[in-house]
Homo-oligomer: A and B are copies of this chain.
């Protein structure tokens, strides 16, 4: 009707089933990685038959690709929001905060990404060398500018970004470990939010 915008789902039921499938696929891919995941598992989680999955997506590969595509936008948006005109400390601490929230609210997405990079990023290489690198380079210049103005401590900007990623995503990716070590009665993400705010305040003080 409205012409081909981009992908498959046209009717409402198709839209809904595609969503159900991707949701289930996210569960399984994020835990077992691409090769470790099976269509049987995804079908079971989705509550649909295996052939039905393949009615909506042409292949296992296509499901994975669909997830990665939507993931990248979600993942990079907070960094994209880093405003060169804002207050340096506010901007960076805001970015850290949003990344902690992402880890808390979308841990499966974080693990899907981690799985992909761990395996050498075979299905995301282009995005990482292109879109992601471009954005990091751009924001690294912003950080460098702030450092040159003496508004935040002088640190290698790209490694500073790596630190934010490593520290925030750790709580999603290594959730099994952090919970086991902290023991019951802890809210890892709440504690992480406070702790990382403190950490970056100290680190960035000129």
Residues in chain A within 8 A of chain B (CB atoms): 31-36, 111, 114-115, 117-121, 125, 128-129, 132-133, 136, 153, 155-156, 158-159, 162-163, 165-167, 169-171, 173-174, 176-178, 180-183, 191-192, 195, 198-199, 202-203, 205
Please tell me how many copies of the chain the complex holds.
2
Contact of A35 among B32, B167, B177 (CB under 8 A): B32
Determine if A32 and B33 form an interchain contact, defined as CB atoms under 8 angstroms apart.
Answer: yes
Determine if B176 and A128 form an interchain contact, defined as CB atoms under 8 angstroms apart.
Answer: yes
If A118-B111, A167-B166 touch, whether A128 touches B195 (CB-CB below 8 Å) is no
Docked pose: A177 CA to B133 CA in angstroms: 9
CB neighbours of A178 from chain B (8 A): 162
CB neighbours of A158 from chain B (8 A): 181-182
Determine if B33 and A177 form an interchain contact, defined as CB atoms under 8 angstroms apart.
Answer: no
Determine if A173 and B117 form an interchain contact, defined as CB atoms under 8 angstroms apart.
Answer: yes
Docked pose: A155 CA to B194 CA in angstroms: 11
Docked pose: A33 CA to B169 CA in angstroms: 19
Docked pose: A132 CA to B181 CA in angstroms: 8
CB neighbours of A202 from chain B (8 A): 153, 202-203, 205
If A35-B35, A36-B36, A128-B181 touch, whether A199 touches B163 (CB-CB below 8 Å) is yes
> Please, which residue of chain B has its CB at the minimum distance from the CB of A170?
B166
Determine if B31 and A36 form an interchain contact, defined as CB atoms under 8 angstroms apart.
Answer: no
